[in-house]
Structure 1
Amino acid sequence: MFTCAVCHAKECRDELVTEVFQIDGQYVLVDRIPAEVCVRCGEESFSRDTTEKVRLIVHGQAESAKSIAMPVFEFA
């Protein structure tokens, strides 16, 4: 049963999300991560299995599907 860790809502929807991680100064984008997303506030929650798989991916235990270039902005 889902309960949002942020707003305590009880309803979520299953989605595939994209996350960017910074590992040893390098940015790594992981696409199509299965997540439960709170319908009220948008907080994303991941299963233990998904979290472990993402950990292995970002620490180099998978080959990248592609590489991309992206603009970088500074806030201040």
Structure 2
Amino acid sequence: MFRCHVCGSEESHSESISEVFNVRGKFYLVEKIPAMVCSRCGEEVLSRETTEGVRVMLHREDEPIRSISLDVFSYGGFN
């Protein structure tokens, strides 16, 4: 049974999400990750199996399906 650890809601739905990961200073975008999403606050929750699958994927030597350019901003200098 789903229970959101942010807002406590028990309402959720399945969704495919995208997430950016930083591995040893290099950023990777992983798409189509199966997740449970809280219907109240939008918190995204991955199963242990999915989390492990993403970890293994990012630490293998496989080539990504494509590469993209990524713009970077630093909030630290914003006034």
TM-score normalised by length of structure 1: 0.92
Indicate yes or no: 2:65 matched with 1:65: yes
Instruction: State the alpha-carbon separation in 2 of the partners of residues 61 and 46 from structure 1.
Output: 23
Query: Which residue is 1:40 aligned to?
Result: 40
How many percent identity over aligned positions? 47
The RMSD of aligned alpha carbons is 1.1
Instruction: State the alpha-carbon separation in 2 of the partners of residues 74 and 18 from structure 1.
Output: 21
Query: Which residue is 1:26 aligned to?
Result: 26
Gaps of 5+ in 2: none
CA deviation vs aligned residue, 1:16-69 (integer Å, no higher than 9, x gap): 001101110000110110000001111111111101100011112543111100
Moved more, 55-64 or 23-32: 55-64
Count of aligned pairs between the two proteins: 76
Query: Which residue is 1:10 aligned to?
Result: 10
Instruction: State the alpha-carbon separation in 1 of the partners of residues 62 and 45 from structure 2.
Output: 22
Runs of 4+ in 1 over 2 A off after TM superposition: 60-63
Greater CA radius of gyration, 1 or 2?
2
Gaps of 5+ in 1: none
Indicate yes or no: 2:55 matched with 1:55: yes
Moved more, 31-40 or 54-63: 54-63
Secondary structure at 2:21's aligned position in 1? strand
